[in-house]
Each structure stands twice: as structure tokens, then as C-alpha cells.
Structure 1
Amino acid sequence: MLVSKVTSRSQTTLPNGVRKALGIKPGEDALEWEIRGDAAVARRASVEHEEEDPALAPFLQLLERDIIEHPERLSGLPENLYRRWMALTDGMEGDPDDPIEGPVAL
């Protein structure tokens, strides 16, 4: 049995044997947890679980319904906003699928 200690900040290090057995790559992969009574089962998370947001599907359905029922509410991006956006990002490269680093305030 592999054991790891939980720190005072509720953090732990995933033992090397577990990382190897599950094919976990530090900084790339995630774990998903399942609680079974007084036990927790951890497994490598699939990409679809990493991105899963329980509020997203209902929100998209609401948005779709509103667009279908009220197409007159749709409008394009104003030209001046588009030009400003393009000027601010000129020469910048980025992948929208890259993880966001650092704190994010919404």
C-alpha cells in the first residue's frame, strides 16, 4: 500500500508509484475523486471531466432558446470595439486552450 502524508494545508504529494501506475504527468493531468462511505477513490480524470461545468449545459440551452425565440435581440460586434480589440492584441500569440495562469477575477 502506498501512503502519503496530508500537510497542515490539506495538501499531499501523489506517490511516484501511483503517478506511474495511472500515467499521471505532473502539471498536465488531473485526478477525479469518488467518495464511497469512509473511503475516497482517486483516478486519472478524463479531459471531458476536467472541463465539465454543471451550469454550462443549462445556460447554453437557455441561450439557444432565447436566440430562437428572439432573433431580433442579436447584434454584431460594433466596428469600433472590433478595431480596438484587434489593436490591443496586435502581435500577440496565444492558444485559447492553454490553461490560465495566476489568479482570475470574474
Structure 2
Amino acid sequence: MVATLEVESTLTDRYQTTVPETVRLALRLGKRDKIRYTIRPSGDVVLTRAEAFEGDDPVLGQFLGFLAHDITRHPERLLSVDAGLVQRLQSLVGGVEVDLDAALSADDE
């Protein structure tokens, strides 16, 4: 039978916590590493080390974080895309084929 190790940490007034040393060691976490939280339908939360990809763009990541924060704070600002706009876009680019693996030309860089 596999033993389960349980550890605790406390939330501060600002909802921050220190990751316990046993968890940091188990996940091989260092300073500035990212943590991923997976919330299961049962309500259980699984904590894992978020792996950074070499192609990750820190500026894009910050922008996406900003968008996620703004959407969370102001969901009423979200608007759906209407069918008319979708049809217009398809009429403009519907037949265009794109090779996402092709190198960019000097003009596109």
C-alpha cells in the first residue's frame, strides 16, 4: 500500500501562502517557477509544477493574464460575435490557406 503524505500551509490576509518544503522538493520547484492548479469535478485540487515551453513569450503571457483578470472582474463586458461578422470574415479569408510551420519572409519578420 502506498503511503500518502499530507502537509498544510496557512493563507495570509491577502490569500497568499508559502509552499511547504516537502511540496517544493516533490515538485522540484525553485524561485519564480509556476504552479498549476487542476480543479476536478469532485472539488479536489491537484497541484503540479507548470512546465514552461521554450516558445513561451513572457509579454504575451502577461497580456493573457491581464485579459483573464479583466474578464474575471468584468464579465459583463464580454460580447458574443454575431453571425454577420463571422460570415463577413469568412468571405474575406475563407479560401486562404496558411502553413503555420512555414518560415516567415523577411517582410513578415
Q: Is the pair's TM-score, using the shorter chain for normalization, greater than 0.5?
A: no
